[in-house]
């Protein structure tokens, strides 16, 4: 009997292998829409004569709309289904990237075209963040926390691919041909969206357990603890990564080109390595202990970055930070799914919302403190160590929680 059940589980897992792979690619799509446009900000200014203040608004609009999607998706994803949500997300991302290449030239004010394009792909990016993780969590697999970590590693590798490939494209073909590259990037969400049409999709709502209502979820103390953890995880990650290029250039005296590669790219590579390692060997690692250790290591990396007199040591600190934060976001998803019974899509949506709040709050806090200290980023980053410190303490409380009953 046990053998029959075991074989059935293996058969079910194989059935959804293609779905999980498509979800991995979905996170590369999210990396494209979040990281390609910022590479063009200077180009937008020179080609369309757009002031920096208006270009900065593109970042704000992208973030705010993704936050709105995090919130709104909790109320409609289960109603329309994961597959429909995924198709809408990929379609929006593809449409936004195509619009980025086409619309600015169709308006007298090119900024309007850019803004419409950002609105389009922001909807897709926000929806991908909410729907992909619970979709992978719902798919049958032996080690869900390993799969979740591997999933989120693809965002890191996607970021590396976008930066590296775009840099090479601009080097060989010139940045004036950026519209062609935008159309090339649009091919991936189109193809992956088509794949999702034919792939089987499993939903958390398909399970036997009854999902929590929004009111019940908000009454669950564990949810608020995990929301605090993922908020601090987002802040810990972005307070370094968003300021990495500026910090290496300003505080360490490294050239702009080298700082772009040595800062954000190095950070993303190490974060991807961290998630890949857990994705490969997660069954041998205690997730609770690893996350607490990662939080402590993150605190140490912040101190190394902000207090080190040596540029080489500061860059090492950035790399260590990328490695330490790697497991925190996907690990929180996995822990919350195992500890909170019936959390479902609603829980994932609001955890994504809390994480995105941290992703904005962390770098904003570091920048404000740096501004008060005479634009000293070392002081700003040293003050932001409060986020991994709070996270580590909160993780000590989550480590003692029992898993939900089957």
> Model confidence at 323, in pLDDT bands (50, 70, 90)?
very high
Looking at 203, 226, 249, which one is the last position of a domain? 203
Q: Indicate if 45 and 157 belong to the same structural domain.
A: yes
325-354 pLDDT per residue, tens = 999 988 898 888 888 887 787 888 899 889
Q: Quick one: pLDDT at residue 192?
A: 97
User: Phi and psi at residue 320, in whole multiples of 5°?
Assistant: -65, -40
Helices (H), 212-286: 214-218, 221-241, 244-250, 256-260, 266-281
Q: Indicate if 178 and 223 belong to the same structural domain.
A: no
Lowest mean pLDDT among 70-84, 350-364, 392-406: 392-406
Q: How far apart are CA 346 and CA 375, in angstroms?
A: 40
**Which residue matches tokens 């007298």?**
108
- The boundaries of the domain holding residue 377 are 212-406
Give the number of C-alpha atoms closer than 13 A to the C-alpha of residue 231, restricted to the C-beta side. Answer: 15
The CATH number of whichever domain residue 175 belongs to comes to 1.20.1250.20
Please check whether residue 346 is in contact with residue 212, taking contact to mean a CB–CB distance below 8 angstroms. yes
> Is 185 among the domain residues?
yes
Q: Quick one: pLDDT at residue 206?
A: 57
> Is 162 among the domain residues?
yes
Give the number of C-alpha atoms closer than 13 A to the C-alpha of residue 280, restricted to the C-beta side. Answer: 7
Looking at 203, 222, 244, which one is the last position of a domain? 203
Q: How far apart are CA 61 and CA 74, in angstroms?
A: 20
Q: Is the pLDDT of residue 283 over 80?
A: no
Query: Measured at the alpha carbon of residue 89, what is the angle toward residues 35 and 328, in degrees to the nearest 5?
Result: 55
**Which residue matches tokens 């205690």?**
286
Tokens of 30: 């999210």
> Is 265 among the domain residues?
yes
> Is 25 among the domain residues?
yes
Q: How far apart are CA 98 and CA 393, in angstroms?
A: 45
How many other C-beta atoms can be found within 10 angstroms of the C-beta atom of residue 402?
7
Q: How far apart are CA 86 and CA 201, in angstroms?
A: 10
Q: Indicate if 47 and 87 belong to the same structural domain.
A: yes
Closest C-alpha to 31, from 124, 110, 120:
124
Q: Quick one: pLDDT at residue 62?
A: 80
Tokens of 389: 């410190």
Q: Indicate if 282 and 238 belong to the same structural domain.
A: yes
> Is 10 among the domain residues?
no
Q: How far apart are CA 214 and CA 71, in angstroms?
A: 12
Looking at 145, 169, 203, which one is the last position of a domain? 203
Overall number of domains in the chain: 2
Q: Indicate if 125 and 229 belong to the same structural domain.
A: no
> Model confidence at 32, in pLDDT bands (50, 70, 90)?
very high
157-211 pLDDT per residue, tens = 998 899 889 888 988 998 899 999 999 999 999 999 999 999 998 776 555 455 6
Q: Quick one: pLDDT at residue 185?
A: 97
Task: Say which DSSP state 399 is in.
Answer: T
Q: How far apart are CA 274 and CA 288, in angstroms?
A: 15
Q: Indicate if 187 and 222 belong to the same structural domain.
A: no
Q: Quick one: pLDDT at residue 208?
A: 47
> Is 2 among the domain residues?
no
Q: Indicate if 130 and 229 belong to the same structural domain.
A: no
Lowest mean pLDDT among 23-32, 54-63, 64-73, 343-352: 54-63
Lowest mean pLDDT among 26-30, 46-50, 370-374: 370-374
Q: Is the pLDDT of residue 2 over 70?
A: no
> Is 282 among the domain residues?
yes
Tokens of 360: 């904005």
Q: Indicate if 53 and 79 belong to the same structural domain.
A: yes
Highest mean pLDDT among 145-149, 172-176, 375-379: 172-176
How much of the chain, in percent, has pLDDT values that exceed 90? 39
Q: Indicate if 218 and 181 belong to the same structural domain.
A: no
Average pLDDT over residues 308-312: 80
Q: Is the pLDDT of residue 12 over 70?
A: no
Q: Is the pLDDT of residue 256 over 60?
A: no
Q: Is the pLDDT of residue 258 over 80?
A: no
3-class state of residue 260 by DSSP: helix
101-140 pLDDT per residue, tens = 999 999 999 999 999 999 999 999 989 988 998 888 888 7
């Amino acid at each position: 009997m046990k053998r029959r059940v075991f074989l059935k589980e293996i058969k079910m897992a194989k059935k959804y292998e293609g779905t999980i792979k498509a979800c991995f690619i979905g996170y590369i799509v999210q990396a494209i829409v979040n990281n390609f446009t910022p590479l063009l900000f200077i180009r937008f200014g020179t080609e369309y004569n757009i002031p920096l203040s208006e270009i900065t608004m593109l970042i704000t609009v992208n973030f705010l709309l993704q936050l709105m999607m995090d919130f709104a998706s909790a109320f409609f994803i289960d109603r329309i289904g994961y597959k429909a949500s995924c198709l809408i997300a990929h379609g929006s991302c593809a449409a936004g990237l195509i619009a980025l290449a086409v619309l600015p030239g169709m308006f007298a004010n090119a900024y309007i075209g850019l803004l419409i394009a950002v609105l389009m792909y922001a909807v897709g990016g926000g929806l991908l963040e909410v729907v992909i993780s619970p979709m992978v969590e719902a798919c049958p697999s032996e080690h869900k926390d390993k799969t979740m970590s591997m999933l989120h590693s693809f965002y890191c590798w996607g970021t590396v691919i976008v930066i590296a490939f775009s840099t090479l494209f601009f080097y060989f073909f010139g940045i004036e041909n950026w519209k062609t590259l935008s159309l090339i990037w649009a091919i991936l969400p189109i193809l992956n969206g088509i794949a999702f049409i034919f792939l089987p999709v499993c939903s958390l709502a398909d399970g036997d357990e009854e999902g929590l209502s929004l009111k019940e979820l908000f009454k669950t103390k564990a949810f608020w603890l995990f929301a605090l953890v993922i908020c601090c995880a987002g802040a810990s990650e972005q307070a370094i990564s968003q300021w990495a290029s500026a910090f290496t250039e300003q505080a360490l005296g490294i050239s702009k080109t080298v700082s772009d590669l040595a800062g954000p790219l190095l950070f993303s590579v190490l974060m991807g390595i961290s998630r890949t390692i857990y994705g490969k060997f997660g069954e041998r690692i205690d997730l609770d202990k690893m996350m607490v250790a990662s939080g402590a290591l993150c605190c140490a990396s912040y101190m190394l970055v902000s207090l080190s007199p040596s540029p080489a040591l500061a860059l090492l600190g950035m790399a260590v930070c990328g490695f330490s934060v790697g497991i925190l976001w996907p690990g929180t998803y996995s822990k919350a799914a195992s500890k909170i019974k019936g959390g479902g899509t609603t829980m994932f949506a609001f955890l994504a919302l809390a994480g995105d709040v941290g992703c904005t709050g962390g770098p904003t806090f570091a920048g404000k403190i740096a501004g008060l200290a005479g634009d000293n980023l070392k002081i700003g980053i040293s003050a932001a160590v409060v986020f991994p410190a709070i996270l580590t303490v909160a993780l000590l409380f989550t480590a003692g929680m029992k898993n939900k009953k089957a």
